[in-house]
Chains A and B, each alone.
Chain A
Amino acid sequence: MIDTIFDEGLNGSTCYSHNFGRFDSAFVLAAANQLFQQGLASQSDPEADKCVYEVVNPLISYQSGRSMKSFEIRRTLEGKETEVLIFRDSLGFLPGSLEDIAGHLTEEAKGAFPHRFVTPYNLDYRGPLPSVEFFEGAKVPQHTGVT
């Protein structure tokens, strides 16, 4: 995913995710680590493009538990050209849940997701919409049409 963003010509872009610090950052770091390992492997391969990925300028908040506020992934091509992608937690600007934010935008309503339905064994699930009890309890009343 990260290399795709770079390849799309989005060098210098800032990518925001809501609650990035406590959720998405773990996945992005895992992906960055994978690319980092590939980069190391490419160093000994004479045929491979020399492409090095690093995580730089991390910013961690220690208020109310640890949370990754921001970091950058830097890609260096052939030891020369350097590109960077910045990852940030939009909670830093927009406190509150995405649902609340949607409420403030008035014309949009946040979608519902059956978080309780998901297990490691059904990530590829295709089938009827899960029943209402699999959706977050607090959000059930507004999704009563879901069965």
Chain B
Amino acid sequence: METDVRILYKALSQFAAVFWDTFQIDVTQSVTLSGLAMRLYRGKYLDDLEGGDYLPTNLPGLFSQIRLNTFIGGLTVSPGGAKRVKKAFAYDITSMFPSMIAQHSIPGGRIVWDDGMKLDSEAFGWIRVLGRAPEGKLACLLPIKPQGGDGGTAPQYIGSQRLFYGLFFTEEVKAAVDIGYQIETFGGLRFEKVEVGLGKFVRDLYKLRQVQAKAGNRVAALSLKLVINGLYGRLAMKRFTYDTVVLSDNRTGVLADDTPLIQKANKPKNRVQVDVSLPVSAAVTSYARIAMSKFFNRTRNPLLYSDTDNAVITRPLPQALFTPASEPELGKIKSEGT
């Protein structure tokens, strides 16, 4: 028992020291890693002074369409026609979701519905599309959720030559068109590309994580990794919280009688949660799919398997395209072995 207490104390102290020494943040004010990530981001990176860029938070009608249509994480791809091979090459993208935040434009600012929105270079946001997936290719962009599938039914890729219709992130639609999807547009939501400190948050914490790892502080390094990942998830939280009520009046033996001491009243609070911005998370998952699509449809190098951030292919990539597993770099392809 004493050892366990000492281990926990050491680990928590190491973790707390990193955040205090670097950011002057007292971790005991947060309960979870994602909460800590948001507090750090809002306190040190987000300049939400009037006039600055901002993240959209409160457009429930439009956002529910985005959630329904395009907020889908990575999907597994395992081509049915793949041949048996003696040797295969595995790669992954280092810190996939955070690196997408660090490398790409973030949707935010003023949002406008544009009936005439076309998929040109100015288009940035979510666009309503009627389309058809290309024939004879792995059509692994623009996945859809089946009817009523907000979490209930597994999302799926569209499949060769299938028609689809929905509201999709413009950058993913552009990548889809590049590989042969045919589309027709029906207006969309224009967003602005905003500088809201998310990229700097990721880069700073990633650098700090590397420093901690090199110093042998493995607990701190692991926790930093989870904090970096936590912010993305936190931004996608649903817009309600639970109310919890403690029954603190004179009810003797409430525990002994097996009567709940604590009850929940899970009614949504009707208020703006300024720490939620679904478009950011939806865009990040889109960017991740685009990144993974580079492994698909490679000439004479068939894909054997792929998921959120991993791909197994038949032949090795050129050396210049990836880093060794021992020297990972944020957002770079990393060799995972053969």
A residues within 8 Å of B by Cβ? 14, 16-18, 29-30, 33, 36-37, 40, 54-56, 58-60, 62, 68-71, 86, 88-90, 92-95, 98, 101-102, 104-106, 108-111, 113
Contact = CB atoms under 8 A, between A and B. Distances in A.
Interface of B: 1-4, 6-8, 10-12, 14-15, 27-28, 30-33, 36, 216, 218-219, 222-223, 226, 242, 244, 246, 248, 250, 252, 254-255, 261-262, 264, 266
Contacts of A101: 7-8, 11, 219
B11 A55 contact: no
A107 to B, nearest CB: 9
Given A93-B33, A104-B222, A106-B216, A56 B246 contact: yes
User: Lowest 4 CB-CB distances: which A-B pairs, in order?
Assistant: A104-B218, A111-B3, A14-B28, A92-B32
B15 A94 contact: yes
A52 to B, nearest CB: 10
Contacts of B4: 18, 98, 110-111
A90 B12 contact: yes
Contacts of B264: 60, 62
A88 B8 CA distance: 13
Contacts of B6: 108
Nearest to A40: B250
A87 to B, nearest CB: 11
A60 B12 CA distance: 21
A110 B31 contact: no
Nearest to A52: B248
Name A's interface SS. mixed
B269 to A, nearest CB: 14
Contact of B36 (A30, A89, A93): A93
A69 B32 CA distance: 9
B150 to A, nearest CB: 17
B8 A60 contact: no
A100 B175 CA distance: 41
B44 to A, nearest CB: 18
Nearest to A14: B28
9 contacts: A30-B255, A40-B250, A56-B246, A62-B266, A70-B31, A94-B11, A94-B12, A98-B7, A105-B14
A108 B10 contact: yes
Contacts of B1: 111, 113
Nearest to A56: B246
Contacts of A108: 3, 6-7, 10
Nearest to A16: B12
B248 A36 contact: yes
Given A104-B219, A106-B218, A59 B8 contact: no
B221 to A, nearest CB: 8
A101 to B, nearest CB: 5
Contact of A93 (B10, B15, B244): B15
Given A58-B244, A105-B218, A106-B216, A93 B262 contact: no
Contact of B248 (A54, A105, A111): A54
A33 B3 contact: no
B8 A16 contact: yes
Nearest to B19: A93
A55 B246 contact: yes
Given A40-B250, A69-B32, 12 more contacts: A30-B255, A36-B248, A60-B264, A90-B12, A92-B31, A101-B7, A104-B222, A105-B7, A105-B10, A106-B218, A108-B3, A111-B2
A11 to B, nearest CB: 14
Nearest to A62: B242
B12 A93 contact: yes
Name the residue among A54, A105, A111 with the largest chain B CB count within 10 angstroms.
Answer: A105
Given A29-B255, A110-B3, A98 B219 contact: no
Name the residue among B6, B11, B266 with the largest chain A CB count within 10 angstroms.
Answer: B11
Contacts of B255: 29-30, 33
Contacts of A88: 28, 31
A120 to B, nearest CB: 16
B177 to A, nearest CB: 38
Contacts of A36: 248
A12 B15 CA distance: 20
